[in-house]
Every structure is written in structure tokens, then in C-alpha cells.
Amino acid sequence: MAADLTNVTSAFKNTGVGTADVIIIVIYLAFCLAVGLWATWRTQRSSVKGYFLAGRDMLWFAIGASLFSSNIGSGSFVGLAGTGAASGIAVASYELNGLFCLLLLAWLFVPVYIASGVYTLPEYLKKRFGGQRLQVYMSVLSLLIYVFTKISADIYAGGIFIQQSVGWNMYVGIIALLAITAIYTVSGGLKAVIYTDTLQTVIMCVGAIILMAISFAKVGGMNRLYKEYPLSIPTPLVNGSDCGVPADNAFHLLRDASAADLPWPGNIFGITILSTWYFCSDQVLVQRSLAAKNMHHVKGGSILAAYLKILPLFTTVFPGMISRVLFTDQVACVDPDVCNAVCDNPAGCTNIAYPKLVVELMPKGLKGLMLAAMMAALMSSLTSVFNSSSTIFTMDIWHRIRPGASDGELLVVGRVFVLVLVGVSVVWIPVLQASQGGQLFNYIQSVTGYLVPPVLSLYLLAILWKRTNEKGAFWGLMVGMVVGIIRMGLDFGYSSPGCGEKDTRPAFISQIHFLHFTIILFFISLATTMIVSLISEPIDGKHLLRLTWWTRYSTADREPFPEELAFSQKADLARAHHLEDQQQHPQVELPRWRRILYVICGYESPHAQQTVSEEEKREHQRLLTSIEEHPTWKWVVNSNALLLMVIGMFLWGFYS
């Protein structure tokens, strides 16, 4: 055992990572795996509800921790600190804005989603508008967004951290973490993901707070940071330009409307659009709330996550700026040759700001804790996206291809799809390295800003305006998609100018900030949807019960759309044939290897599955769609929501 530990420790040469750190990392990974497997055995893994919605019995603290850790992954640690090092605290607007959007999620969006009784957001669109093209389009778009931003960005950020902190080859480290992550994600479903997210949230917060304290102590406190950050100019500069010189407004959230990084209109309105989409109409975040035991736990979870959203400004963005002060020539380099030597990325090295702090400042033992925290960030965000992606593919795409598929088939398909998704995301990683001047967070937000404004406009209108119909929704999405893809293609087709180089990009790109474009795209899609809806036939109100904000408490029976009813009948017929086929064939003894595989995957053989009575189905549906609230707990969560809004407004005012 001692010899093995010595061999492992030798892999960390020249990184300052000692035996104590290795022991802490190994203990963390083992404990995380144990928690995941424990949750796996407690999960109703052989049912779709159990695997994809954790049985709908999760409590508020687990929901809140999972919301936070799903949002704050390794991409956020690396990206927020990197952009903070590059341009100051304005990037914290994403986090402070998210505080309000989490409350919007629990008070406006989730009650409608739960009342509609859906598993996925594309499924909600199918119920709300009828037909299938909206559901299929939204499913495919969601999966593309996950590949191009969430999964690949988090894997890449984790690779940067492992490479800088541990000295391993980037892809070797990624594969090691993915292997551990896949064990409980593929096997245990959403409950295993949420329980491990809770553990990882604690580790992330503790590690980040410790590093923040050490960083401020090293730089000499906040007042010293105010003085030193404007002086953190790297050498050499390029062509005598001012590239690499810190901005005068580095300590302000709101900046001039013509600012190159975060102009105030984009900051206030553009980020609001992106954050509202992310927290309120993205499957990854919404799925955690759909797994809550009741509405009190939905709102309690959002409140906990919103309180935690206050932390990143202090635990991530300010430390990123401190890293620039302490390691100016490395973190803030602008010369492509120097940057390539420092971090293998000629576009810039601000992404190493946070890993650099861990490597240089954390003492032995605590360094292992911080490495474990970063691994927690990577694993928690990946497991969340993996589970949500498999849910979308299984319930919205595969189930449409095979309407009569059994629960067992759907569960196996969902697990296999995770493995496919990982492979595609890893292939996309090289594209990230040269994007948005080497600032990972800007890459994530820009791609999102080109694709998601039409999606948010659709969900807002679907929930708040009953006159929205399927034609309006479809053409609003299509027009928005075309405009957004044109801008994204031009943006990636014309690479950003290097330091000291003339900007030769078209004015459509160089003069319109991507956050300003986000606002324009949102209103283009909103107007298109409303105009087309007004000039076409409205949807009969009998199809909209419990599917809008105004009808969420309706107790009347909703009448399905004709095509919805036809699909349901087709699925019931296919299941009946499947059940009849099972009854005609006697049960046979399965090979041992197959029984072991079933246990690992949570798959029950067809003969082991039980028939559910109609009364049980009705009771299940009642619990699935209940949004009732107890008056006392309703007062508690509402009071906390008001307090959070006051805190949020104070922080905006103080740092604006």
C-alpha cells in the first residue's frame, strides 16, 4: 500500500502536491463514490419516475445544494476567476442576477411545470401546444447546447485545473474523473446525483472560503487589492499597445454602454435574459426542482441556492483578481509566445488564475482539500448535465421513436446515451481553447446568447399568454434560430483580433456586443411569436388546463390534443402487445452475467415488472401534479424571498 501511494505521489512532481494531499484526494473520491452508490441503492432505479425525477421525494436542502453545484461547476470556478482577472468584478453580475432568477424559478415557472405533470421541458411544450415539432426541436437544441457549452466547457475547465495543479496530461485526468462520475450517474439516476451534489456543495464552499481567506491575507486585504490591481500590467506588452492594462472600471458592475467587456445595457437586460433561461427553462436546473417533495421544498431549495449565489463574487471573482496581482506576467500575459509557454494557449492565460492560487498559496493538506473541491465542482456539474441530457433524449426523442418502449428499455437507452454524449463533448474541447480571447466564461455566455433568447421568449409566452399558439411558437423559434446561428457563425468565422492587431471584423460583430445582440434576438423572437399567434387560430381553452399560470390550479379534466391522444393510444397498444407477448412466453432463468448487469443498471427483467392498477396511476398523477402549500411554510419561504431580494439589491447598488 505504501509503495502504491509513493507511486501515485510521484505523479505530482513539480506541483507541490504532497502525500497528505494525495491521501485527502483519494479519501474524497472514495467517499464521494460511496455516497453515490449508497444513493443508488436507495433509488427506484427500475422506474422512469425514480430514475429521472428521484421519486419526487427530495428535500429542500438537497434541492438547493444540487441547484448550486449544478450551476457552479469547474467551468464557473475557472471561468469566473479568469474573467475577473482579465477585466474585474463585472462578471459577478451573472451570479448576482442568478439570485433573482432562482426565485423566479420557484415562484413563477415551477408551479406550472409541476401542475402540468411533465418530466422534461420539451414535453411541456408538447402538452401546451400539441404536435411534435416543438418538442423534437427543443430536445435537439438542448442537447446541442449541453455539448457545446456545459459538458465540453466543464470537462475542459477540469482539464485545465488538473493540468496546472497536478501535472497530469489533461485528457488522462479527465478520463479518470469521468470514470468515477459515470459509475453512480449511469447507475443511480437523479437521486444519486442530488445526494452527491449535496456532499460536493459542502466541499466546494469550504474549500473556496479557505482559499479566499488565504488569498486576501496574501495580497494584504481588500484595500490593497484596490491599489494593486490597476498596477498589474504584464511584461512584455505587444507592439506598444495597451492590451493587458487593467480597466479603470474594474471594480464596478455597471460600465459604459460602449464598453468592450460588459456594457451596462447588456449587463442589466442581456444577462437577465440568459440567467432567466438558464435557471427557469433549462432542463438541468429545472429537473432538480421537479424532483422536490412538494412546493415548500421547491421554494426552500431555490432560497438556499440563492443565498449561496452571493458567495462567488467573494470566493471566486475577487480571488481571480488577486491571482493577477500576485502572478501578473503569467496570468495576465498578452504576448502569444509567452502565453503559449505558460499555459499552452496563445490566446491568453487568465483561465489559470484560480488553479494558480491553489498551487502557489494553499499549504499541504489544504491543497488536497482544494483539489478535491475542484473535482467536486467538475463532477457535480457533469453528473447534472448527464442525467438531464439522458432524460431529454429518452423521454422526448427515443420515446417518440418507440412509443411502446418499456421502462426498462427507456432506462437502458438513457444510460447508454450518457456515454455517447461524453465522447462528442470531448471532441469539441479543442474549439474552446481559442474562443473569446481564451476566456472560458465569455465563450460559454456568447454561445448561449446566440441560441437561447428565442427559447426563453417562448416559455414566457407559453406560461403567461394563453393566446400563444403552436404556429406562433414554431415560427418565433425558427426566426430566432436563423438570426442567432448567422451571428454565431460570423463570430466564430472571424477570429477575435490579437493584442495590437486591427479589428477587421464586420461591424455586425465588432460593434454589437453579444449581450446587446441577446436583447435584440429576444425581442425579435417575442414579436414574431406574438404576431403569428394573433393572425392564426387560438388554442381552445380546454387544452390549456394546468398548463399556464392562470390555469395552474384548475381541477377540471384537461382534454388532450387529437395528436396527443393518438400517440397515447398507440403507446398503450404497443405496451398491451408487449405484455401479451410476455404472458405467452414462460419465464426462463437468466444467465448470471445478465442478472449482475441488471442489478448494476437498475434494470428489472420484463417478467419482474409489476402491472400498475388504474387507481394507482391516478394517485401517482395526483401526487406528481400537486402544487398545494401550507400557509405557515408559505409565509416562511415568502419572507426569505423578500430578504434575499433586499440583499441582492444592496449588493448591486454597492458595487454598481
pLDDT, tens only, 97-123: 999 999 999 999 999 999 988 878 888
User: What are the cell numbers at 464?
Assistant: 403567461
70 domain residue, yes or no: yes
Residues 356 and 462 placed together within one structural domain of the fold: no
Question: Same domain, yes or no, for 384 and 455?
Answer: no
Summarised one tens digit per residue, pLDDT across range 203-255 is 888 888 999 999 999 999 999 999 999 998 888 776 666 777 888 888 999 88
User: For 176-210, what is each residue's pLDDT tens digit?
Assistant: 666 666 655 555 555 666 766 777 788 888 888 99
Taking CA atoms, 605 is separated from 266, 388, 404, in Å, by 53, 25, 16
* End residue of a domain, out of 429, 457, 486: 429
What is the distance between the alpha carbons of residues 392 and 105, in angstroms, rounded to a whole number? 19
Same domain, 150 and 283: yes
Decide if pLDDT at 307 tops 70.
yes
Task: Compute the half-sphere exposure of residue 347: CA atoms within 13 Å on the CB side of its CA.
Answer: 17
Greater confidence, 52 or 140? 140
Please indicate, yes or no, whether residues 218 and 338 belong to a single structural domain of this protein.
yes
> What is the pLDDT at residue 224?
94
Residue 288 sits in the same domain as residue 249:
yes
At residue 317, does pLDDT exceed 70?
Answer: yes
Q: Measured between alpha carbons, how far is residue 143 from residues 93, 385, 420, 465, 646 in Å? A: 26, 10, 12, 27, 36
3-state helix, strand, coil in the chain (%, to 5): 75, 0, 25
What is the pLDDT at residue 469? 94
Give the other-Cβ count within 10 Å of 632's Cβ.
8
Do 169 and 128 share a structural domain?
Answer: yes
- Assign residue 328 the CATH number of its domain: 1.20.1730.10
- Residues 155 and 45 placed together within one structural domain of the fold: yes
Q: Using CB atoms within 10 A of its CB, is residue 611 exposed (0-12), middle (13-18) or buried (19+)?
A: exposed
Same domain, 63 and 197: yes
* 293/188 same-domain check: yes
Q: Which of 267, 225, 216, 264 is nearest to 246 (CA)?
A: 225
Same domain, 352 and 380: yes
Q: Looking up cell 396527443, which residue turns up?
A: 564
Instruction: Among 431-435, 524-528, 601-605, name the most confident range.
Output: 524-528
Question: What is the pLDDT at residue 482?
Answer: 94
Q: Give the pLDDT confidence of 147-171 residue by residue, as tens digits.
A: 777 777 777 777 666 666 666 666 6
Backbone angles phi, psi at 103, to 5 degrees: -70, -40
- CA gap 132, 139 in Å, rounded: 11
pLDDT of residue 153: 72
The C-alpha atoms of residue 359 and residue 167 are separated, in whole angstroms, by 11
Instruction: Note whether residue 407 is domain-resident.
Output: yes
Quote the crossing angle between the two packed helices 170-219 and 353-361, to the nearest 10°.
70
Most confident of the following: 102-106, 378-382, 438-442, 622-626 = 102-106
**C-alpha grid cell, residue 170:** 489533461
Per-residue confidence band for 87, with pLDDT thresholds at 50, 70 and 90: confident
Task: Say what the pLDDT of residue 500 is.
Answer: 61
User: How far from chain centre, in Å, is Cα 6?
Assistant: 37
Mean pLDDT of the chain: 78
The three grid cell numbers given for residue 204, joined into one nine-digit string: 466546494
Q: Which of 397, 429, 461 is the endpoint of a domain?
A: 429
Question: Would you say residue 575 lies in a domain?
Answer: no
- Is residue 571 very low, low, confident or very high in pLDDT (cuts 50, 70, 90)? low
CA atoms of 32 and 200, how far apart (whole Å): 8
What does DSSP assign to residue 505? S
Do 77 and 186 reside in the same domain of the chain?
yes
* pLDDT the model gives residue 338: 82
What confidence score (pLDDT) does residue 7 get? 42
Residue 399, pLDDT above cutoff 90: no
**What are the backbone angles phi and psi of residue 58, rounded to the nearest 5°?**
-80, 145
User: CB of 520 within 8 A of CB of 269?
Assistant: no
DSSP state of 155: H
Residue 517 lies in a domain: yes
Percent above pLDDT 70 for the chain: 71
What the block records as the C-alpha cell of 622 is 395526483
**Cβ-contact 198, 187 below 8 angstroms:** no
333 vs 349: CA distance, rounded Å:
6
* 107: containing domain: 20-429
Is the pLDDT score of 625 beyond 80?
Answer: no
What gap in Å lies between CA 595 and CA 588, rounded to an integer? 12
Whether 550 is covered by a domain: the verdict is no
Where is average pLDDT lowest: 59-63, 354-358, 437-441?
A: 437-441
Beta-carbon contacts of 259 under 8 Å, excluding residues fewer than 6 positions away, are: 249
Domain count, the chain: 2
Q: Is 477's pLDDT higher than 90? A: yes
Between 586 and 242, name the one with better pLDDT. 242
Task: Give yes or no for residue 133 having a pLDDT over 60.
Answer: yes
Exposure string (b/e) for 374-401, b if CB count within 10 Å is 16 or more? bbbbbbbbbbbbbbbbbbbbbbbbbbbe
Inter-residue contact 149 to 277 (CB < 8 Å): no
| Shared-domain flag, residues 422 and 525 | no
pLDDT tens digits for range 510-546: 788 888 999 999 999 999 999 999 999 999 999 999 9
Q: Is 434 part of a structural domain of the chain? A: no
| Run of H or E including 646 | helix 631-655
Give the least confident one: 41-55, 144-158, 451-465: 41-55
Q: Is residue 458 part of a domain?
A: yes
C-beta separation of 557 from 621 below 8 A: no
Tell me, yes or no, whether 243 lies in a domain.
Answer: yes
